[in-house]
Structure 1
Amino acid sequence: MTTRNKYLLGAGLVALGATYLLLTRTKNYPPLATVAAVDLNRYAGKWYEIAAFPQRFQKGCHCTTAEYQVNPEGYVEVFNACRKNKPTGKLKSIKGKAFAVPGSNNSKLQVQFFWPFTGDYWVLALAEDYSYAVVGTPDRDNLWILSRTPAMAPTLYARLVQEIAEKGFEVSRLRKTNQSCG
């Protein structure tokens, strides 16, 4: 292959990649509303994943949980865990940190598991008693329904799914999480 052909092939691949990114990332969503405020001390503790959009890093996970603890230095310590491949499988876990976005009243956080990379963690719904939460990202690619208990009433789940759909999330992507680890 000549140098000119290599250059043209490379340029074509770059153009194709840029076109793909533009087509897949230019969804016209309205701004994503979060809850007015989150008391991080009340939010701290253990949460059970009731349902979520499938994520590559959660492949094969059962009994997924997240635990949050407010650190005296002002950030939130994050501990995510699941059982791999079956409810009795090996425990897989990861630790991270979450930082409140200034001006968001703690309803928008940036989560970091690998420095220097961060990801959005926006609290979209939160029970008054902090018994459930819905968390997502503004691009609508990530979504989690969380509860303080391993099960959620079907009527509450249906109501939350409806609210999520109204926010522009593809609720057909939701997958319930097996919480039968007891």
Structure 2
Amino acid sequence: PTHIILSPGPKHPKDSEICLEIIEADLNVPILGICLGHQAIAYKFGASIKTLKTPVHGKSSKISVINEGDIFKNLPSNFEVMRYHSLYVDNLPNELEILAKSDVIMAIKHKTKQIYGIQFHPESFFTQYGKKIIENFINLNQISKNKEKNVENFAPFMKKLQVGYPLDSSDYEIICKAINNIA
């Protein structure tokens, strides 16, 4: 697979067998956990899962984006999302960081892997920018592939320099274009 979405479900994250197995498998592809998937990611890395005093089913909330990360790229810092959950993530371990909050943690990211979790439902008509969030997630692997391809493009120039040949203006032009694509 090029991407994995861990979808919502009615279980406690500790009982979400396949979700936990996928996270543990470390497949080196971007993972997006939605609702239960978000909770499973947090649980697998050691966060606490707690029960809300009042379940939030079919309610919208305003979230505040704290860290744009990759999935909230080019989105406003506050927008409405649709929620359906009775559990929430708390006490994140060091390898996870908060991307967005409302009254609870609404989005997380692993600090060194392309693993993301969102408590809300981007597929809901009532979530503003839901389509853009999914689009940003889908673009993650493509960005990574472009970076790898561009880094590979440097190899001939490095070989040239290693054997003592100078680079010419056309070499620099290609290198500048590659660097521009990486940034």
TM-score tier by shorter-chain length is under 0.3
More strand by share: 1
Pick 1 or 2: higher relative contact order, CA cutoff 8 A, min separation 6: 1
More helix by share: 2
- Greater CA radius of gyration, 1 or 2? 2
